[in-house]
Amino acid sequence: MIEVYTDAASKGNPGESGIGIVIKNGKDYEEYSYSIGIYSNHEAEFHAVIKAMELCMSHHPEEILSFRTDSKVVVDTVEKNHTKNKNFLPLLEKIQELSKQFPLFFIKWIPEKQNQRADRLARESIHKLK
C-alpha cells in the first residue's frame, strides 16, 4: 500500500497556486512540488490529488492507494461522490476515472499538522514564482 499526502497553497483566492505531494512507499519518500496556475484554494486541492494519482499511475501502478489531505472539501466530495459546485465537478470526475486504475483507492482527512511536508512543498512552489 502506498501512502500519499497532498496539499495546495494559493496566493489569493483565486490566485497563483501550487501543490505539494509526498508519496510514501515503505520507508522511501518521494516529494513533488508544482506550480499549477490560477485557481481557488479548493480547486488547487483537487488538482493536487489528481496530479498525485497520475504520478502513482506512472511510478506505482497496481498498488493500493491511501491518500491523506487536510482538505475537508476534497475528502467530502470524493467520499460522497457528488458535488453541487460546477467548478469541482470535472475534477471529481477525473478523480473517479483515475481511481479505477488502481485495485483500491482511499482518501481520508488529516489535521494540517500531520500534513506539514506536503504543505511545505506546496508553499515552496508558489514562492518560486517571485
Tell me how long the chain is.
130
Exposed, middle or buried by CB within 10 Å (0-12, 13-18, 19+), for 67? buried
Cell of 7: 496539499
Phi then psi for residue 21, to 5 deg, are -135, 130
Q: What is the mean pLDDT of residues 84-108?
A: 97
Domains and CATH numbers, the chain: 2-127 (3.30.420.10)
User: DSSP letter string over 41-99?
Assistant: HHHHHHHHHHHHHHHHHHHSTT--EEEEES-HHHHHHHHHT--S-TTTHHHHHHHHHHH
pLDDT digits (tens, 9 = 90+) for 23-57: 999 999 999 999 999 999 999 999 999 999 999 99
Task: Indicate the pTM of the whole model.
Answer: 0.96
pLDDT digits (tens, 9 = 90+) for 4-17: 999 999 999 899 99
Average pLDDT, the chain: 96
d(CA 89, CA 112): 25
